[in-house]
Amino acid sequence: MSAAQRERLAPLIRSRAVAIGVGAASVREIDQLNIYHATHLAMRRAIARVGEHEHVLVDGNRIAGFEAKVGPYSAIVKGDARVYSIACASVVAKVVRDRMMTLLAARYPGYGWERNQGYATLEHRMAIRELGLTPFHRRSFLALQRTLAGDQLGLFEGLDDLSHDLNEGLVPVMGQGTDEAELEAAFLVGSMTT
């Protein structure tokens, strides 16, 4: 689905959803916890913002200890392609992410964040080499470390596809967020539709 299609659908989803919660983990949390644990933290925050619920649907595999923190849940591999509410949550999450990356791009021009959403594209890697890091770059990200070390660009071939497949827009390479003090990463949305 294109960004324009998501932008058209997001207001419809929001108008029909019983509740929507967006959760995030900061760049600092991602670097401290690792992306796996920070993603689960962001999921718990999104679920908390949804409020009272009976059951949670998670896009992906089972998560150790998750039920103790959020209550009953089902893990559905490729859930965004199989479950309507997960697909809707994915659309809303990507729209939030894209808007935040556009704001981040205005604040830190030259990285192409309004186009690459923080993924390790050639444009983004070259900008890091030329402009350096911002406070919103995840220093623990291996591709970023290699870019800073000056490894040959050939090492990054295929990373765009891999990064997209792993993150599918839910966990961008860059941090992003909702306020000037600290942009946050790992946007996840919990939605329940009518």
CATH number for the domain harbouring residue 14 = 3.30.420.10
State the average pLDDT over residues 70-93: 96
* DSSP summary character for residue 33: H
For residue 190, name the pLDDT band (cuts at 50, 70, 90): very low
Count of alpha carbons within 13 angstroms of residue 168, beta-carbon side: 18
Residues of the domain holding 189:
3-193
- φ/ψ (deg, to 5) at 160: -60, -45
Give how many domains the chain has, as a whole number.
1
State the average pLDDT over residues 24-52: 93
CA–CA dist 106, 87 (Å, integer): 29
Q: What is the pLDDT of residue 86?
A: 96
Is residue 176's pLDDT more than 70? no
Beta-carbon contacts of residue 189 (< 8 Å; ≥ 6 apart): 20, 21, 22, 23, 46, 89, 90, 92, 93, 96
Count of alpha carbons within 13 angstroms of residue 31, beta-carbon side: 15
Q: Do 190 and 49 form a contact (C-beta atoms < 8 A)?
A: yes
Is residue 161's pLDDT more than 60? no
Higher pLDDT, 152 or 182: 152
Q: What is the pLDDT of residue 142?
A: 73
Q: Do 168 and 91 form a contact (C-beta atoms < 8 A)?
A: no
Nearest to 129 by CA among 116, 111, 113: 111
State the average pLDDT over residues 31-54: 94
Q: What is the pLDDT of residue 19?
A: 94
Tokens of 107: 């604040």
